[in-house]
A and B are shown apart, each in its own frame.
Chain A
Amino acid sequence: MLQKKVKKRASLLAALLLVSILAIFFILQTLDKNILYFKSPTDIKNDQDIFSKKKIRVGGMVKKNSLEIKEQEIKFVITDFKNELMISYSGTVPNLFSEEKGVVAEGKLQDKSFFIADRILAKHDENYMPPELQSIMKNNDK
């Protein structure tokens, strides 16, 4: 009688453990599929196997006089003062988006110099610079 109870409890515990492990595994799997890497134009140039279908974020300064506006599309060049990347985007840009200001774009890389963005990130603060960008700029100063 007791044995049966113990058995039942053990199997219940085992089932619970299995479910928890599966749940964590499922979460981590999805996490891995959905993270966005942040790259600077230099990272993109140096990285050999960067071409993938995965979305990434790129960041840099919008280069002076590079902004081109058409009816359906906005094109601009971002730079980290070493390398450049052309970005094409159709959609709403944040108000703080302008030339010679920092920007973060989310989308897919077409080739090493051309990027199609589907989101330009909005930040509240005018003096705001994404922390990722700050560290890139700092590294470049060295």
Chain B
Amino acid sequence: MISNFGNLLLFASIVLSLSIIYLSNKNLKLNGNQITKHIFQLSLIQSTTVIICFFTLIAAFIVSDFSLITVYQNSHSMKPIFYKITGTWGNHEGSLMLWVIILSIFSFLFLIYNKNHPKKFRLLTLIIQNILIIGFLFFILLNSNPFSPLSPIPKEGLGLNPILQDPALAIHPPLLYIGFVGSSIYFSAAIASLISNYSEKNFASSIKNWILISWSFQTLGILVGSIWAYYELGWGGFWFWDPVENASLLPWFAMTALFHSIIVFEKRNLFYFWVIILCLMTFILSVTGTFLVRSGILNSVHTFASDPTRGIYILSFLSLMIFGSVFLLFKKYKTENYNLNQNSKETFVLVNNWFMMFYLVTVLLGTIYPIFTDALSQNKISVGPPFYNAIIFPVVVIFLIFMSIGPNASWIKNKFDNIKLYFSILLGAILINLMIILFFKNFSILSNFIIISALFLILSSIKDFVVSKKKNNLDLGRIISHGSFGFLVLFIGLNYIFSIEKDYNMKIGEIKKFDNYSIEFKNLELKDFTNYQAVVGEFEIFNGKDRNILKPEIRIYSNPKTLTYEASIKTSFIKDHYLTMSNIDRSDYYNIKFQEKPLMIWIWLSVIMVVIGGLLRFFKNAKNS
């Protein structure tokens, strides 16, 4: 029943998309700048249909309708209601539905919010976007149908992997999807702009807010994923340079480059083709990421249900997109006359873009390199964090310096008249760095450089705030984003330098001592919960002043049968204490890992502030237009 209804809605969506394309095409041939009402109505109906379709799936999850394969494989009647709902997009099929929802809602919103742009551009954007929607709907219908029926109907479902039953992971996919599926709209707009020769500055104003909003959500999505990894995976870190994480970072670099260069395009009518390339690249990288993650071609510590046939479909879709874009780009490419002064804001924005491209190439190479060596030489290799750390960290130093001085450069021709001020800021940064060394601990030369450059960016941002407040031309969004990024690097740096990590094998009653810490294994309890059993350890950490009790758990879930460990984390403003425990193959010994992680909470807060900066800019733009 529910299966037929769902499939019907999916078909209806395809028909609606086709009619939108047909009507738009017809409308294109008419004179005048009016778009017929029918197109608006159809687009609205389409979004509604897709949303109803998604809610149908959610309903199937809530009532545990195991006549659907997807529900059977990913849900269980005993699961808490919250996780029944979030389980809808916690699997491949459901998450693709979410994908289509965002494609169609963005398509509709773009249509209604860009009334003062040429008809041809708007309709072409709509057509391209609907081609994307059809592509994904076919993918869903042919390969990943969430409404595939199952018979005979099983009595019970297989359940959702317990480590996915988590509030952070419930909101992680929607956030991330608004980010990288949202980038589809400026992919479509870029192609429409190429076809319709709409290359004026106005084109920038039609997409810049979409870039900002997708960027903000992408950043939040990455943050939530990192927080989840930190407390759930039990390694105590939050970023592992795993292919799945890299996949979310690649479009992020392109987006960041894009919303910097689009400022230049809007102000100075420069870099049109570069902006177009970035628009196309962002969405292509998003789909590439999906391909890498879902096809199983790369192995990752994050298990995603992967399936080669999916990979083939996404890969062909991806190749079509890439060839189409490249072909169009070459056909329409005209040499632009760059008359750039080397010392101008334009150049500084380009510098930002070079850095972004450098990071992008680094991460992309590191991520796909194992595929090539496997195909070419049969050598199984993996690329770990040392590669990324060795490349990205030294470059960050120069990047931060540019990030501090770039925004204050003037358009067209810049003069450095405040070099003295920057020198005193640099001195201030060096001084603070010296104090950290003096009062706490010495660290490596590279770390010194990173801390100093981060401080330089923070102090410059504060200076910018004070100066521009006086002049009354405050660009709060930019200052907050840049300053907070400085804080982010600073906190990550300090966190890295001052982290403590100790591993022990312990029995109950044992005490381990190091420096002025002592860890006592006090007790072990077995507890029963509704859907799992837990072995709960009790550890007392004493560092000369405070006593902290930490209670890590080993959980045994019944459906599906899985073992997980829950780290016990005591968070304070200064530091986190982090303890995980695992049993060593049926012996009396427990393997524990104790970590002290300074300033964790400030790392999260800095990212949130970076996003707030982006959103401020978004609201400012929205108010002005």
Question: Does A36 count as interface, using CB distance less than 8 angstroms?
Answer: yes
Residue of B nearest to A67 (CB): B585
Say whether A36 contacts B554, CB under 8 Å. no
Contact between A36 and B384 (Cβ–Cβ < 8 Å)? yes
Q: Which B residue sits closest to A28, measured CB to CB?
A: B365
Residue of A nearest to B510 (CB): A71
Tell which of A24, A71, A92, A98 touches B592, judged by Cβ atoms closer than 8 Å: A92
Contact size class for A? 35 or more
Known: A122-B233, A122-B301, A124-B303. A93 touches B380 (CB 8 A): no
Select from chain A the residue with minimum beta-carbon distance to B379. Answer: A37
Q: Is the CB of B366 within 8 A of A96?
A: no
Hey, which chain A residues are within 8 Å of B233, CB to CB? Answer: 122
What residues of A have a CB within 8 angstroms of the CB of B386 in the complex? 34
A28 to B364, CA, bound (A): 12
* A123 interface hit (Cβ, 8 Å): yes
Whether B369 and A125, one on each chain, are in contact in the complex, defined by CB atoms closer than 8 angstroms, is no
Instruction: Say if the beta carbon of A137 comes within 8 Å of chain B.
Output: no
Q: Are B593 and A36 in contact (CB under 8 A)?
A: no
Q: Is A48 an interface residue (CB 8 A)?
A: no
Contact A27 B391 (CB under 8 A): yes
A51 at the interface (CB under 8 A from B): no
Within 8 A of A (CB), among B460-509: 503-505
Contacts of A27 in B (CB 8 A): 361-362, 365, 391
With A27-B361, A36-B381, A130-B299: A95-B585 Cβ-Cβ less than 8 Å: no
- A122: B residues at CB distance < 8 A: 233-235, 301
Indicate which residue in B362, B380, B503 contacts A91 across the interface (CB closer than 8 Å).
B503
| Any B CB within 8 A of the CB of A18 | no
A residues in contact with B390, CB < 8 Å:
30, 33-34
* A31-B302 in contact given A95-B564, A126-B563 (Cβ < 8 Å): no
Answer yes or no: B265 CB below 8 A from chain A CBs.
no
Interface assignment of A112: CB less than 8 Å from any CB of chain B? no
What residues of B have a CB within 8 angstroms of the CB of A30 in the complex?
387, 390-391
- Shortest Cβ distance from residue B597 to the other chain A in the assembled complex, whole angstroms: 15
Band of interface residues on B: 35 or more
Given contacts A74-B505, A126-B561, A130-B299, contact A57 B382 (CB under 8 A): yes
Contact of B580 among A71, A74, A92, A97 (CB under 8 A): A92
Asked if B539 CB lies within 8 Å of chain A CBs, one says no
Can you name the residue of chain B whose Cβ is closest to the Cβ of A8?
Answer: B342
Q: Which residues of A contact B593 (CB under 8 A)?
A: 91-92
Which residue of chain B is the closest to A92 with respect to CB atoms?
B593
Task: Please tell me if the beta carbons of B163 and A99 are within 8 angstroms of each other in the complex.
Answer: no
**Is B290 part of the binding interface, using a Cβ–Cβ cutoff of 8 Å?**
no
**Residue B161 interfacial (CB < 8 Å):** yes
Partner of A34, one of B384, B505, B586: B384
**Using a CB-CB cutoff of 8 Å, which residues 73-117 of chain B contact chain A?**
none
**B391 near A95 (CB under 8 angstroms)?**
no
What B residues does A98 contact at CB under 8 A?
585-586
- Asked if A38 meets B382 with Cβ closer than 8 Å, knowing A92-B593, A95-B554, A96-B563, the reply is yes
Residues of A within 8 A of B161 (CB): 124-125
Interface residues of B in 130-187 (CB under 8 A from A): 161, 163
B361 and A95 contacting across the interface, CB-CB below 8 Å = no
Cβ of B517 within 8 Å of any chain A Cβ, yes or no, is: no
Per-residue CB contact flags for chain A residues 94-111 toward chain B (1 = under 8 Å, else 0) read 111111000000000000
Chain B residues with CB below 8 A from A37, complex form: 379-381
Are B301 and A121 within 8 A (Cβ)? yes
- The interface residues of chain A lying within 8 Å CB-to-CB of B580 are 92
Q: Within the assembled complex, what's the spacing in Å between the Cα atoms of A94 and B581?
A: 9
- Give CA–CA (A69, B584) in the complex, Å: 8
Q: Judge whether A138 is part of the interface by a CB distance below 8 angstroms.
A: no
Q: Is A1 an interface residue (CB 8 A)?
A: no
B562–A126 contact, CB under 8 A?
yes
Provide the bound-state CA to CA distance between A121 and B379, in Å.
Answer: 19
Task: Contact check, A31 vs B379: say whether CB atoms are below 8 A apart.
Answer: no
Q: Mask for A106-142, Cβ within 8 A of B = 1, else 0? A: 0000000000000001111110101110010000000
Chain B residue nearest in CB terms to A36: B382
Q: Which of A53-83 contact B (CB under 8 A)?
A: 57, 67, 69-72, 74
Could you list 11 further interchain pairs (A-B, Cβ under 8 angstroms) beyond the known A38-B382, A91-B591?
A27-B361, A35-B382, A38-B381, A93-B591, A95-B583, A96-B563, A98-B585, A121-B301, A122-B235, A131-B299, A132-B299
Residues of B within 8 A of A (CB): 161, 163, 233-235, 299, 301-303, 342, 358, 361-362, 365-366, 369-370, 373, 379-384, 386-387, 390-391, 503-505, 554, 561-565, 580, 582-587, 589, 591-593
* 23 examples of A-B residue contacts, CB within 8 angstroms: A26-B391, A27-B361, A27-B365, A33-B387, A34-B390, A35-B387, A37-B381, A67-B585, A69-B584, A69-B585, A74-B505, A91-B591, A91-B593, A95-B582, A97-B584, A97-B585, A99-B585, A123-B303, A124-B302, A125-B161, A126-B561, A126-B563, A132-B380
